[in-house]
Amino acid sequence: MTEKSALSDLAVFGGAPLFDAPKSTSNLVRPELDAFLGYSRQFFAAAGQGGSGPVVEALETRLAALHEARHCVSFCSGFWALVLAIATLARPGRTQVVMPSLTYRRMADVVAWTGLVPHFCDVDPASLAISATSAAAKLNEQTALILAVHPIVNCCDVHGLEALARQHDLPLLFDSVESVYETVAGGKIGRFGDAEVFSLHASKLLNGFEGGYITTNNAALAEALRRGREGGLATPQPGLNARLNEVHAAMALAGLDDLQAQVLRNRERYLAYRSLLADMHGLRLLDFDPQQQTSFKTIVAELTEAWPLTRDETVRILNAERILARAYYAPPLHLKPMAYPAISSPLPVTEFYAQRLLLLPCGHFIEQQDIAAVAGLLDFIRRHGAAIRRRCEETAA
């Protein structure tokens, strides 16, 4: 690691990068190899080795228990789980899905695959998530479904959204990809709305390399999702093969064994950031809600007006140091060029935060000393912001 003491030490100005190896903002958690191999032996020993088998079944049972939901249906990815859930739940004859714009960059694509039209709503400034008020402003006679997405830190207003959906007799689907371990008042995430969707991608809390799953308390819906997952054979609907395979299920089961320990490790990283960034003028760490159970997985910070550089300038400087800091959901979806129909309008809260939030390194490969180095660099940038900007302008001229 190379400390910075002069502007020319910054990698954007030709200095040596702070880190030898890139520091990711993805979880990339690695459970014990032996645990993964142990679960893998089960499917290797089983008769049929294609598609889903005993390990997938065991995973579905454990995930339903984790979320205190009656049913869990696994998928090859969170993306296809979302597509099938929306297609299955949407009110027939209607065309629009009300959803946030400050969210996962492929979320509108998910809706487009169902043939429905994304109708973007704003987010609540406190939760940075869709709320009953922001969703209600976009409901109309064409609304087929409300797609509520939990933000990266904390959760959206589950009960407010459930009340709104009930009041308008609309299906409510939660994207809970970022909230696997979380609780809200009233219980574990995974048992709210009509269904909740999760991902097992390597960047998520539970790493199955790839994969996804849906939890629900509705037996008929679970059955429809199971049929849909490998559907098209006995129905006139377009077919799909979106099954999870045994290898990915074995990895996810090993991750489940390590889940509590992982959360404790994540917590240590979060606490380190919290203490090191507590007095950094212009930078606000988004705090996890101490009243709720949470995974402490992802570190998000807001750069306020007191920060001397823009978020994008800051990300550029960090990236040059091999810190893979990223803008948090920018551009927001309603400002992203799309080759399919979508309903957009100005969304002031979304547009404001899409320019201020960034993800900082976290996950399996980030050590305490890395966090100290990142915090030290941020402090250097804060103290020398005006000079850095001047130097950038001179270099560009």
Ligand X SMILES: Cc1ncc(COP(=O)(O)O)c(C=O)c1O
Q: Contact with ligand X (CB under 6 A): which of 24, 154, 199, 295?
A: 199
Please report whether residue 131 would count as binding ligand X according to CB under 6 A. no
Q: Contact with ligand X (CB under 6 A): which of 78, 255, 332, 361?
A: 78
Tell me the closest approach of the beta carbon of residue 62 to ligand X, in angstroms. 18
Tell me the closest approach of the beta carbon of residue 92 to ligand X, in angstroms. 24
Tell me the closest approach of the beta carbon of residue 74 to ligand X, in angstroms. 11
Structure tokens at 105: 């960059």
Tell me the closest approach of the beta carbon of residue 318 to ligand X, in angstroms. 21
Strand partners, 112: none
311-320 vs 368-383: helix axis angle to the nearest 10? Answer: 130
Mark the segment that binds ligand X (CB under 6 A) among 73-81, 179-187, 241-249, 304-312.
73-81
User: Which H helix or E strand runs over 62?
Assistant: helix 54-66
Whose Cβ is closer to ligand X: residue 261's or residue 338's?
338
Strand partners, 300: 359
Whole-number Å distance between alpha carbons of 132 and 137: 9
Whose Cβ is closer to ligand X: residue 266's or residue 371's?
266
Q: Is residue 186 exposed (0-12), middle (13-18) or buried (19+ Cβ within 10 Å)?
A: exposed
Tell me the closest approach of the beta carbon of residue 152 to ligand X, in angstroms. 8
Whose Cβ is closer to ligand X: residue 110's or residue 277's?
110
Tell me the closest approach of the beta carbon of residue 59 to ligand X, in angstroms. 15
Q: Contact with ligand X (CB under 6 A): which of 77, 134, 207, 266?
A: 77
- Strands 299-303 and 71-75, by their bridges, are unpaired
Whole-number Å distance between alpha carbons of 231 and 345: 36
Please report whether residue 177 would count as binding ligand X according to CB under 6 A. yes
Please report whether residue 24 would count as binding ligand X according to CB under 6 A. no
Look at residues 150, 186, 164, 172 and name the one whose alpha carbon lies nearest to residue 297. 150
Sequence-ordered list of residues with C-beta below 8 angstroms from that of 1, at least 6 positions apart, any chain: 18, 19, 369, 373
Fill in the per-residue mask, 259 to 278: x = in contact with ligand X (CB under 6 A), - = not in contact.
--------------------
Tell me the closest approach of the beta carbon of residue 288 to ligand X, in angstroms. 17
SS3 for 289? coil
Mark the segment that binds ligand X (CB under 6 A) among 76-84, 117-125, 186-194, 282-290.
76-84
Whole-number Å distance between alpha carbons of 69 and 196: 10
Name the phi and psi angles at 145, rounded to 5. Answer: -170, 150
Whole-number Å distance between alpha carbons of 18 and 80: 39
Q: Contact with ligand X (CB under 6 A): which of 104, 213, 288, 329?
A: 104
Q: Which residue is nearest to ligand X (CB)?
A: 78
Number of residues in contact with ligand X under rule CB under 6 A: 11
Tell me the closest approach of the beta carbon of residue 6 to ligand X, in angstroms. 39
CA angle 198, 203, 209 (to 5 degrees): 80
Give the residues lining the site for ligand X (CB under 6 A).
77-79, 104, 149, 175, 177-178, 199, 201, 212
